[in-house]
Structure 1
């Protein structure tokens, strides 16, 4: 490969900027989802992180491990669409999970060609081992390592530096925002480590979400006021707090209505340049948009594996700036000639 300096292909900078904006948007939305999920619903928190990871990364398996002394509790492990039963394992010396716990740093498959990973968490029947992996520490609000978030791929060199940072951001959110509902994406400590979580001033939907979240915080604070005043004044304070709380609820409903009708931000794929799908991705996207086929049905139609379909679908969603398959219809539409076109106007 030539090492001579050459100018990047036209549109490369725009494509990278669009990808970064999409990543930041999805991470911010994941932070909001985690903050909204009750503490007694850990499965929903893991599902939110899993959804973000599979949208942004070429993930074949995702694992959450929690440390307890020399044991590792695995409450969530998903491999190629199959959710495995929770498990408890010993944290043996020389394993990737033990290394993450002891060093508090992220493990990357390429650091040791996967040697420590081999004795960590086994997937499936073991006949098809991971070819790339990232294990990022999950920290609590006191910065103590309490577990890890691991992503695995059956493809070599699947995770680049940007992917590693996404895993670290998701692990950070899982360990702080999820475990402390008072921590929001406006948290300065969070921003210091992950600036991409700073709400975008140009993203109206983000602003509406933040305003609604702030209103909810005010409402909860008002409802807590009566317990902090003398008993002889408690009835009056309670009545006034309830009135103000209802006003907050009405304002939040109004903000939600605004979010439903607000124009998409400029960074969304519907108003961005063509997402640049490959021919195979266009073929799969067309089957999703026009026929609403599942991954299994697409695999059968195109004579490829479900794993390959999942990889393509993740890339399609990432390029189109969507987190759900249903959102592709907002960005792409099927033409009469069996092709796909961006919903963005091509005039002008």
Structure 2
């Protein structure tokens, strides 16, 4: 599973090869690779479409000495906008040919849709909690500031430090630490996943800024973040350029920015890509 960022970057927090977890990371994809194809076509890519030609042009995961013989890669599409937006991708690949039939493809597409729905619901819940905390100052603020992120990461690393200290003590006392080592390995994997999730979480300021806008303003702001001009936005939404300009002015006023480019900075603080 991966999420698109600006400048042709894909962040992938979860990757498994034959049941073995692989470290999260980021990669850059080219304009002729699967990532770019998904952004353009907004539909599922399968190995059968071109015999894996497009798949073979991209980054390899898992055992790089082996080649995938079947694949299903489906876009994660957020349909909560007038123009659906691809926010990421989900991929399953096999070293064996003809592993995925039409039912498997449909099931995987359904799973991707559920994942996007969960992410959107989480986003809406965050906004709702912020409204609640604004009305009730005694509650802890919702979301994560930069300080919160640092604290969360520190807590996770501290868990590992404590576990290592316990292992050192047990080893010095001559105890069998096999099970403890296995537990530490599991803890490191979980902490790595959680830390990656923390670092790629949208900043609160962006969520708060978006909540200030009406639905139509959010749609236009989203298109601005895709570097679309006023005429392009007007064509996409079937409205006049004058109406677009009015909305852009209102958006800038609500976000308290002086330039159009600052809208992107406010709403895409972590470089989330759009398509």
Same fold, TM-score > 0.5, yes or no: no
Higher relative contact order (CA 8 A, sep 6+): 2
Report TM bin, short chain: 0.3 to 0.5
